Amino acid sequence: MGVLSVMALDHRSRCAVALLVVALTGSIVAGQSAPKIAPRDQLSIAVFGVPALSGKYPVGVDGTITFPHLGPVAVAGHDTRAVEVDLTKRLKDGGYLVSPQVTVELAQSLTKRVIVTGAVRSPGPHPYAGELTLFEALALAGSTTPDAGDLALVIRASGSGADTVAAPARNADEDATNGAADGVIEISLSELESGNFAANNITVQDGDHVVVPRAQQVFISGQVRSPGAYSVPAGTSVLQAITLAGGLNDRGTFRGIRILRDKKELKNVKQDTVVKPGDTIIVKASPF
């Protein structure tokens, strides 16, 4: 896709393109570096000359393996080389072997699952192996759709975790908020699009539910160039909403704008008034 064609896309479409580009880039980078061990992976460990210590070791949900003589050994978050060094040191320092030679291989399988729903192209459960970032989870779901809002909600399966921010789900679809009173991490998709990856591209956990709520929708009628329904992000003003509708036509005026909200009529609305989901903005014709 050329630069000009990308510039012509709307905000949501650019965000979807950015997600795919970063996800693909991340895959390339991941292919160049050693993968990290994650819970529910399996390690194949060989200790030269000691068959009793060699075998397959499943990684528990706590990120450890249970190794003979050594007991629980934390391996999650490390690569296989780091585990080789750690086990070699432990076996030597513990007096079990004089000069241990340890090799570790990672056998990842699609034993984990993340659920992605809302404004994505392929909603539903998606199996994965190893570690998975939010970008990669969205890429598995085909990226966001043009009507996606700015937030991605990561609902922890356990309702707790190091990355968890206890907060109510804001502006989420009804299916996003069921059972999500706490343990919800809110991520700004626009921040991700702008390149703020360190604070936003979190690692999802097995069983997490990622929800991309649809943007709130308002209806714009009267003297605008393209009347109709528009999805707008939270905090959108009347002026910004009218701009989405192509702006005023030759007969339109910003004077006397009305909003129909919850069966009530707001008159002489100012341009900086923040719209709400379900609002109908009515633009009058100029008397001149």
Give percent of the chain with pLDDT exceeding 90.
57
- Mean pLDDT to the nearest integer, 216-232: 93
- Mean pLDDT to the nearest integer, 263-270: 94
Between 157 and 131, the more confident residue is 131
- Mean pLDDT to the nearest integer, 92-101: 95
- Return residue ranges of the chain for CATH 3.30.1950.10: 43-107
| Beta-strand relationship, 228-232 and 216-222 | antiparallel
CA 187, 192, 195, 200: dihedral to nearest 10 degrees? 30
Q: Half-sphere exposure of 69 toward its Cβ, with a 13 Å CA cutoff?
A: 13
CATH class of 43-107: alpha beta
257 pLDDT exceeds 50?
A: yes
160 pLDDT exceeds 80?
A: no
Confidence class of residue 97 from pLDDT cuts 50, 70 and 90? very high
In the block, tokens 């059972």 appear at: 179
Q: Can you tell me the distance from the alpha carbon of 188 to that of 233, in angstroms, rounded to the nearest whole number?
A: 11
- Mean pLDDT to the nearest integer, 170-187: 53
- Return residue ranges of the chain for CATH 3.10.560.10: 3-26+111-212, 216-283
Q: Does domain 3-26+111-212 have CATH number 1.10.10.10?
A: no
Q: CB within 8 A of 104, min separation 6: which ones?
A: 43, 44, 45, 46, 80, 81, 83, 84, 87
Confidence class of residue 274 from pLDDT cuts 50, 70 and 90? very high
258 pLDDT exceeds 60?
A: yes
Tell which residue, 76, 79, 55, has the closest CA to residue 67.
55
Quick: pLDDT tens for 126-137.
998 888 899 899
| Beta-strand relationship, 216-222 and 280-283 | parallel
Q: What is the pTM (predicted TM-score) of this model?
A: 0.60
Name the CATH superfamily, with its identifier, for domain 216-283: Outer membrane lipoprotein wza domain like (3.10.560.10)
CB 221 within 8 A of CB 280: yes
Confidence class of residue 179 from pLDDT cuts 50, 70 and 90? very low
